[in-house]
Amino acid sequence: MTTLMSFLLKTLAVLEKDAKSEFRAKYALNSILLFCFTCVLVVSFSLRGTVQDTRIVAALLWVILFFSAMTGLSRTFIKEEDQGTMNTLRLVCEPTPLFVGKALMNFALMLVVIIIVTPPFVMMMNVDMAHPMYFAPAAALAALGMSGICTLMSGIVAGARGRGTLYPVLVFPVLLPVFWVAVDATDRALSGPVPWQYSNLLVFLGAFAAASYIGGALLFEFIYSE
Amino acid sequence: MALAGKIILMIWMVMVLWGALRFAPPANILGETARVIYFHVPVAWVSVLAFCVSLYHSVQVLRNRNPMNDIGAEVSARRGLWVCVLATVTGAIFAKAAWGMYWNWDPRETSIVVLLLIYMAYFGLRSSMTDPDRRMRVSAVYAILAFCVMPFLVFVAPRIYFSLHPDTVINFEGESKLLDAQMKMVLKAATLGFTGIYIWIYNLAVRTERLAREREGYDV
């Protein structure tokens, strides 16, 4: 019980630290949102309402979200290495609460981005979100899976050369199952007749999110220790 | 002993070639083109085997940090990657004959592309690290994480989405409906032969890599 309490307190402390530093500098959120809005405008301008196929719209939305995650979430641990605070973190926090705290912060960032970017994207692409109540859990679960993987990968590339280009190369194959199913679920939410019959897609995304957090928490220890 | 093994393997592979091209009867609908499965299925199996061996060594790296396990993981992943390319190419040839297209993003085709991407990224990651200890740990973590994702692609996705592939990838019992006795015999012999070639190449490559690292001054 004490161990669980200590784990929760440390996780919350990491989350609070990152939330405060993000609230002050708004580095990740600003860069992700600016990137997303630029992409939405570029996509909308180049297509100019010619695309009505919901599959293509869903794919474009997730391509934008994927690459926005690549710009913002890659700095989770690189930031700590650059500022020289990584060793302090090693002294005060065990690997698992640090990983979970950082991943939850990334999850919150992705969630904010999805909430802010999806409505203007759907409007500018001239399609209707037929089933927002199906899209919401699908997007949230996909963001959860993405946050777990992106956080671990950020720890992996923190000590590598050429990490800017290496990061998406490492993340994409591992995130592909989420990407694949999230595009499909978004397509169903935009057009599908009865999306709840496709609840197995949500189960898939939930299982992937759970696997990414459990696997990440177990493996993070080995890249965290020096 | 080793020489006898190599001679037996060579004779075995000659027999497999003869069996695949002459002994096994042509398939019912696909005819002679179906013979590519005697190469496609074994190389796909060997790539899975090589990646499993690499996974085993990656787990061992995290447990005991032994550089020999790092060599095993790298060498097996590299051979697995090449065999995976062969499986993709032979699969594309068979897909053209069977379904009329070289590529159609069938769930199993998607999973093999992801496997190729993962292991290409794995080698990208390895080459970006200079510190041998960190490279060993970090690449092991990536290999294990990537392997954890594979069940979602290999087992779950084909059950959610429609797949053109037969459900039985490496399951000879299930294939009894699809293949007759001679075909099954050749397929089993080819799988055994290709596994033997993998073991031989793997041993050679581990010894070569160990010598190369010793020459570079690493403690192996």
pLDDT tens column, A73-126? 877 787 787 788 888 888 888 889 999 999 999 999 999 989 998 998 988 888
Look at B129 and A204 and tell me if their CB atoms are within 8 Å. no
Looking at CA atoms only, how far is residue A23 from chain B in angstroms? 31
C-beta contacts of B15-21 below 8 A and 24+ residues apart:
B15/B189, B16/B186, B16/B189, B16/B190, B16/B193, B19/B185, B19/B186, B19/B189, B19/B190, B20/B186, B20/B190
Look at B138 and A166 and tell me if their CB atoms are within 8 Å. no
Looking at CA atoms only, how far is residue B74 from chain A in angstroms? 17
Instruction: Tell me which of B164 and B51 has the higher pLDDT.
Output: B51
**SS3 readout for B140-206:** HHHHHHHHHHHHHHHHHHHHHCCCCCCCCCCCHHHHCCCCCHHHHHHHHHHHHHHHHHHHHHHHHHH
**Inter-chain CB pairs, A–B, below 8 Å:** 85
Looking at CA atoms only, how far is residue A90 from chain B in angstroms? 16
Chain A's closest residue to B65, CA to CA, is: A222
Whole-structure pTM value: 0.83
Residue A93: strand, helix, or coil: coil
pLDDT digits (tens, 9 = 90+) for A150-192: 999 998 888 777 777 888 889 988 998 898 899 989 998 988 6
Contact list in A for residue B157 (CB cut-off 8 A) is 177, 180-181, 204
How far is it, in rounded angstroms, from Cα A165 to Cα A167? 6
Looking at CA atoms only, how far is residue B118 from chain A in angstroms? 6
Look at B141 and A219 and tell me if their CB atoms are within 8 Å. yes
Q: What is the mean pLDDT of chain B?
A: 84
- In the chain, the amino acid numbered A81 is E
Q: For residue A18, with 0-12 CB atoms within 10 Å meaning exposed, 13-18 middle and 19 or more buried, which class applies?
A: buried
Chain B interface includes A215 (CB < 8 A): yes
Looking at CA atoms only, how far is residue B42 from chain A in angstroms? 24
Token output for A79: 């930031």
Chain B's closest residue to A223, CA to CA, is: B138
Chain B's closest residue to A162, CA to CA, is: B128
Residue A1's pLDDT is what? 66
Question: Is the distance from CB of A169 to CB of B121 less than 8 angstroms?
Answer: yes
Q: Which of residues 146-185 of A touch B (CB under 8 A)?
A: 149, 152, 156-157, 159-163, 166, 169-170, 172-174, 176-177, 180-181
Confidence of residue A64 (pLDDT cuts 50, 70, 90): very high
Residue B177's pLDDT is what? 55
Residue B170's pLDDT is what? 40
Looking at CA atoms only, how far is residue A24 from chain B in angstroms? 32
Residue B159's pLDDT is what? 66
Which distant-in-sequence residues (6+ apart) come within 8 Å of B158 by Cβ?
B107, B108, B165, B167
Residue B168's pLDDT is what? 46
Look at B148 and A222 and tell me if their CB atoms are within 8 Å. no
Strand partners, B31: B27
How far is it, in rounded angstroms, from Cα A113 to Cα A122? 14
Look at A162 and B128 and tell me if their CB atoms are within 8 Å. yes
In this complex, the residue of B117, B128, B129 whose CB is nearest that of residue A172 is B117
Interface test with B, best of A174, A204, A220 (most B CBs within 10 A): A174
- In the chain, the amino acid numbered A103 is A
Which distant-in-sequence residues (6+ apart) come within 8 Å of A175 by Cβ?
A66, A145, A146, A149, A150
Chain B interface includes A200 (CB < 8 A): yes
Look at B145 and A159 and tell me if their CB atoms are within 8 Å. no
Contact list in B for residue A81 (CB cut-off 8 A) is none
pLDDT digits (tens, 9 = 90+) for B40-95: 989 999 998 999 999 999 999 999 988 999 999 999 999 999 999 999 999 888 88
Chain A's closest residue to B105, CA to CA, is: A180
How far is it, in rounded angstroms, from Cα A142 to Cα A145? 5
Contact list in B for residue A173 (CB cut-off 8 A) is 114, 117-118, 121, 146, 149
Token output for B34: 């179906």
Look at B128 and A211 and tell me if their CB atoms are within 8 Å. no
- In the chain, the amino acid numbered B81 is L
Residue A81's pLDDT is what? 79
Q: What is the mean pLDDT of residues B1-13?
A: 86
Which distant-in-sequence residues (6+ apart) come within 8 Å of B57 by Cβ?
B69, B70, B72, B73, B76, B140
